[in-house]
Structures are given as structure tokens and as C-alpha cells.
Amino acid sequence: MTPEDLAPGERRSTRVLVGGVGLPWMRDLDFGTQFIRRMRDLEWPGDVVVEDLSYAAHRVLHLLQELEPAKIVLVGAMPRFEDGAGTIRRYPLDLTPPSEEDVQARLGDAAGGTIDLDHTLAVGRYWKAFPEDTVVIEVEPADRTFGLGFTDAVEAAMEPVLAMVREEVGMPTETAPRQ
């Protein structure tokens, strides 16, 4: 279910928000966006919202205020240059707010069109928008250039990441298409 599925003014309980953050048309960096598109074809519990969060961090803040999820699982690709391409990292988000200078710089970057997982995490942490139970699942990209489609290493990460998300949501890890 997505927020658009609700009637105007309708509010429902959100146990888990699964959000993808990606840079459209930037090969492997678009992982979060494409992951969410593929996930929407799967069956999810009614209290789980699956949403593409590939937009300015201040809009993500508004969505978090609207949904008030008990848990958030964020998925994306971030170059850390510590692991090989396609490496998956899953970790609980450290909720320590970044410095005001860091947030101002990231908001300035966002105004210029830069949107990535780290920007969303920094802004959300600064305004204390994330619940304590926030998990990040990120993939090390190989190709960060303009274009469509993933490298083989990042494409191979799709199913393991889906299994991790299903585990975080409390579901069996096998996938089942919607009827």
C-alpha cells in the first residue's frame, strides 16, 4: 500500500515504512528507486507502506510526519569505497543528529538537484524524524554514470536485499506475486 491509496483525509496505522532512495537515470545509484518499483508487485501487509523516497529530504520529512511509522527500512546504493561492487550493508541507523553546517550543506545540495541516501539520512536525523527502529540497507554501486540498468553485481543484490527487507518487516523471505 502507498499513501496515494488512501482517501483524502484518511489516516491509517503504519507499522513499517519501506523507502527506497535513488538517483534516477544514474545506473547503479538508482537502486533504491528501482527496488521499490519491483517491490510494489509483491504482496505486503496492510500496515506496511512501500514508497519511493527519491525526492528532496524536506518532502520526506513531511511524509514521515504524516505516516508516523514505528519502523523504517531505507534501501539505496551509496558509494563507500570500502567494499566490492554489489556488497550489501545492513545496519541500524545511528540517530545522532549531524551538525547544523552539514545539514545546511546537504539542503543546499538538494536545492541543486542532489538527492541521495546520505542526504535523506542527515536531514531526517537532524530533525529527529526517524524512529529508533530505523534500518538502512545499502548496496555498493559499481557504475555511477548516466544511463539505465544495473551492473551485474548490483542486479545480483536485488533478491538478497528483498529477503532482508522481508525479514525486517517480519515476513517469510520468499517472494510471492500479487494476485
Q: What CATH number does residue 33 fall under?
A: 3.40.50.1450
Q: Print pLDDT tens along the chain (179 aa).
A: 555 555 555 555 799 999 999 988 899 999 999 999 999 889 999 999 999 999 878 788 899 999 999 999 999 999 999 999 999 999 999 999 999 999 888 887 776 666 789 989 998 999 999 999 999 999 999 999 999 999 999 999 999 999 999 999 999 866 444 43
Q: Could you give the C-alpha distances from 54 to 75, 115, 129, in angstroms and in order? A: 11, 7, 17
What pLDDT is stored for residue 26 in this prediction? 93
Q: Has residue 11 been placed in a domain?
A: no
Q: Could you give the C-alpha distances from 79 to 10, 37, 154, in angstroms and in order? A: 39, 22, 12
Instruction: Give start and end residues of each alpha helix (H) in the chain.
Output: 31-39, 57-67, 100-111, 117-126, 152-155, 158-169
For residues 73 and 135, what is the distance between their CA atoms, to the nearest angstrom?
5
State which residues form the domain around 30: 23-169
What pLDDT is stored for residue 24 in this prediction? 87
Q: Has residue 176 been placed in a domain?
A: no
CB 153 within 8 A of CB 57: no
What pLDDT is stored for residue 178 in this prediction? 43
pTM: 0.87
Name the residue type at position 165: V
Q: Has residue 29 been placed in a domain?
A: yes
What pLDDT is stored for residue 176 in this prediction? 47
CB 21 within 8 A of CB 74: yes
**Total number of domains in the chain:** 1
Q: Has residue 13 been placed in a domain?
A: no
